[in-house]
């Protein structure tokens, strides 16, 4: 019988691994520079001040790297669960995760489904997430015990391979900001609304362009739009956006609120 420590758990990797590596490298190089200044110039007052300033920036870089690692492993999962709590899923929904990566949001959504199904799409950039691949995501779903409720596909958010009005809920976390250009990001939002059923809901987490998403979604046709404040529980701070696609029978102006 396997012990608790021997049971494999899903591994969701590290977000922006290149940025984390650069922060660690710069921080270590600054530490070496400060040490070298103190060794070469000894107790010169000006050098001590300069070395202290260099060490301060080294600590900033290393602190940011540690914060990003913590967010990838722990903090992001907490924010995802908070967002899914806001959706109050009934369990029979068809859910689409746009930019699912290694499956953290996809799998957490699938855990809340009974007869429903969760589909994740991505273009599998390892620059955006370490070890990103559909095989890894499928394995994570298996390890989490939700493989039968999860489908993983390769697709671009700007050209979704699904029929119109197919999904009840669309979610996304730290994905759309990787698309260059506002018009291209707006095209992704347009596609998300196309495949969403009338009255269906969108929930997103991102650290940049979130106000832009809200503005574009209002223009494209949503209501009950809620834009959250930045959450400083993670780094970089994430903002939540919730919206509902206008039902066919409704014609009303959209008002954004803040939580």
For tokens 């009255």, the residue is: 199
Domain for residue 16, yes or no? no
The pTM score is: 0.90
- The tokens describing 126, both together, are 């390892």
Residue-level length of the chain: 259
Domain for residue 130, yes or no? yes
For residue 136, the domain's CATH number is 3.40.50.150
Determine how β-strand 222-227 pairs with β-strand 167-173: unpaired
Domain for residue 121, yes or no? yes
pLDDT tens for the chain, residues 1 to 259: 444 444 689 999 999 999 999 999 999 999 999 999 988 887 788 889 999 999 999 999 999 999 999 999 999 999 999 999 999 999 999 999 999 999 999 999 999 999 999 999 999 999 889 999 999 999 999 999 999 999 999 999 999 999 999 999 999 999 999 999 999 999 999 999 999 999 999 999 999 999 999 999 999 999 989 999 999 999 999 999 999 999 976 654 444 555 5
Domain for residue 3, yes or no? no
Output the CA angle 170-72-107, nearest 5 degrees.
40
Domain for residue 150, yes or no? yes
Sheet holding 257-258, edge to edge: 150-154, 117-122, 94-98, 167-173, 196-206, 239-245, 222-227, 257-258
Distance, in Å, from the CA atom of 26 to the CA atom of 13, rounded to the nearest integer, reads 22
Q: Determine if residue 226 is left, alpha or beta; phi over 0 gives left, psi from -120 to 50 gives alpha, anything else beta.
A: beta
Domain for residue 58, yes or no? no
- The tokens describing 229, both together, are 């404040």
- The tokens describing 249, both together, are 């029978």
State residue 163's pLDDT score.
98
State residue 120's pLDDT score.
98
Domain for residue 63, yes or no? no
Rg of the chain in Å (alpha carbons): 22
For tokens 């596909």, the residue is: 153
Domain for residue 212, yes or no? yes
102: DSSP letter: T
Distance, in Å, from the CA atom of 174 to the CA atom of 106, rounded to the nearest integer, reads 13
- The tokens describing 139, both together, are 């394995």
The domain tally of the chain equals: 1
> Does the N-terminal peptide bond of residue 52 adopt cis geometry, omega within 30 degrees of 0?
no
Q: 168: domain range?
A: 90-258
Identify whether the C-beta of residue 254 lies closer than 8 Å to the C-beta of residue 218: yes
């Amino acid at each position: 019988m396997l012990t608790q420590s021997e049971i494999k758990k899903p591994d969701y990797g590290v977000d922006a691994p290149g940025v984390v590596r650069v922060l660690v490298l710069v921080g270590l190089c600054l530490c070496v520079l400060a040490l070298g200044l103190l060794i070469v110039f000894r107790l010169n007052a000006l050098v001590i001040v300069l070395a202290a300033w260099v060490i301060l920036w080294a600590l900033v870089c290393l602190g940011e790297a540690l914060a990003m690692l913590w967010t990838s492993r722990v903090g992001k999962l907490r924010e995802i669960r908070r967002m899914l709590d806001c959706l109050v899923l009934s369990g029979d929904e068809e859910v689409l995760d746009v930019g699912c990566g290694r499956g953290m949001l996809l799998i957490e959504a699938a855990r809340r489904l009974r007869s429903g199904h969760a589909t994740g799409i991505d273009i599998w950039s390892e620059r955006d997430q370490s070890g990103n691949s559909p095989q890894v995501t499928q394995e994570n779903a298996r390890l989490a015990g939700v493989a039968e409720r999860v489908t993983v596909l390769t697709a671009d958010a700007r050209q979704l391979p699904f029929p119109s009005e197919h999904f009840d809920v669309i979610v996304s976390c730290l994905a759309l900001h990787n698309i260059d250009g506002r018009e291209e990001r707006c095209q992704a939002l347009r596609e998300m609304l196309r495949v969403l059923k009338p009255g269906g809901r969108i929930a997103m987490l991102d650290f940049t362009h979130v106000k832009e998403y809200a503005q574009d979604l209002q223009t494209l046709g949503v209501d009950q739009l809620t834009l959250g404040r930045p959450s400083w529980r993670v780094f970089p701070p994430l903002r939540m956006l919730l919206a509902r696609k206008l039902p066919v029978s409704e014609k009303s102006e959209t008002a954004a609120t803040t939580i």
